[in-house]
Structure 1
């Protein structure tokens, strides 16, 4: 999740709150979001504090600067909605870029699509990748050994700025807190470069926060993408360990909102492996815009 410092908002960050009674919590605006368990690994990289936990309910999980990123028993609620509307909607999916996503879950879901020939995964913090591969190997799973995956430990903002025009069919941003190492991933300049490097018929997608816990940030991101692309729309789902449990992903494209209509052949090929995503679920999730968000987006 991100605090959108570029928009003047802030979230609480720091080390995960681990209590003597065996709870690991994220604190956000007077509410605690926690799991019963224990910390099994901690490190501070040049970019952030990294915590790996083992929980009773959802298996192993990852926090960055005290904010929940993923957990084995919940990661599909996040990764499938981010990936499949884009990969099933783009005209072609041969070349895919994932910015962030050091746990490997987004790359794994992308590589379920056999039409993907080359996937660049650009993660700024190599220590996140190392700890995820060591302690959360089920999330990245087969992706780490798939020859189509090309991992680069580097700044995704610079990668996108330096990439040639029309170089990717799909660009996915799987970022964390914009006040930390992911700060630039929601700037107008970065998003304009994302549009520039998309091939005709391509799709851009990003996680776009909770419409309840981060309402102003969420609406600002959707509106910014609508300024940059011809079409941009949020999709709503749930990730129970995140603040409020209610989450969003926003998809954008030029010419037409092609992310709304899944390709039947691609959908059929991956549907049986999905726990959350399906074409029907996707259509409902795009339609589930609450009235207060619709009014704010229309202002």
Structure 2
């Protein structure tokens, strides 16, 4: 039995036993590995970094999708930047009121590999008739598009390699221009305890482009180092403050059955620990 050792951070690593090797190869853009681990099930890694596992993916995908959709309350058109394993699409298509989904992915081979090797992630969402799948660079797509969306979800890898452009001033500015009056942008924003510059840098860029911005968070076991942060931004200050009773009503009406998300968790997720608030403040001060 071999071992996969992730060394994303200097001086700190996690190891997973490779109980069954399934796939290893290069797409031309990224190194891909899929294997089975006895505790987490099938595991996808890109460039040596754990991206998702069958056991704990529900935390990430439920929070990134349902928090903005239920906060908004009337999402009809969604743009997804970064399709990857398809888990975020699985959660989006569960909302019957959504009429149109545009999903942009830079690496088609990852999508097809995950469709075949991690089928429970997308669970048929890639064949949903509301979905339009586009293979392109996310930043370039936004720069050229003239469409408007109620929600933009950025389900990216970390800021490096193919995802580097999705953490830039230009990307956030383009997102702001493509959102409707109450539109929301929600993004993957790393683990702040071990990626502090990412949180502060994103705060600075969101503040430059949006009327309202912030972060929410959730604990995903294989994203080591503490809670994962999700970026939040909108042209409206109202949607982030959707009250608990409204969230409960929308959640009940949706018919969703979830394993992590609840309306109460939704509201609590925006309460950040002091160290995250300090990182955000330090990031903003660099521009002062």
Same fold (TM over 0.5): yes
Kindly indicate whether structure 1 or structure 2 has the higher relative contact order, using CA contacts under 8 Å at least 6 residues apart.
Answer: 1
Residues of 2 paired with 1:257 and 1:229: CA distance?
13
Query: Is 1:40 matched with 2:22?
Result: yes
Give the 3-state SS of the residue equivalent to 1:276 in structure 2.
coil
- Root-mean-square deviation (CA, aligned residues, Å) is 1.6
Structure 1: tracts of 5 or more residues without a match: 1-20
Query: Is 1:22 matched with 2:2?
Result: yes
Change in 2 beyond 3 A, CA 1:23/1:269: farther
Counterpart contact for 2:219–2:226, Cα < 8 Å = yes
Per-residue deviation at 1:272? 4.3
Per-residue deviation at 1:243? 2.9
Query: Is 1:280 matched with 2:261?
Result: no
Change in 2 beyond 3 A, CA 1:177/1:272: closer
1:154-169 mapped onto 2 (5 Å cutoff): 154-164=136-146, 167-169=148-150
Partner residue, 1:79: 61
Per-residue deviation at 1:158? 1.1
Give the 3-state SS of the residue equivalent to 1:286 in structure 2.
coil
Residues of 2 paired with 1:157 and 1:90: CA distance?
24
TM-score of the superposition, structure 2-length normalised? 0.91
Partner residue, 1:120: 102
Residues of 1 paired with 2:14 and 2:254: CA distance?
32
Give the 3-state SS of the residue equivalent to 2:25 in structure 1.
strand
Counterpart contact for 1:63–1:69, Cα < 8 Å = yes
Residues of 1 paired with 2:267 and 2:173: CA distance?
27
TM-score of the superposition, structure 1-length normalised? 0.88
Residues of 2 paired with 1:274 and 1:77: CA distance?
9
Aligned residues: 277
Partner residue, 1:18: none
Structure 2: tracts of 5 or more residues without a match: none
Per-residue deviation at 1:121? 1.0
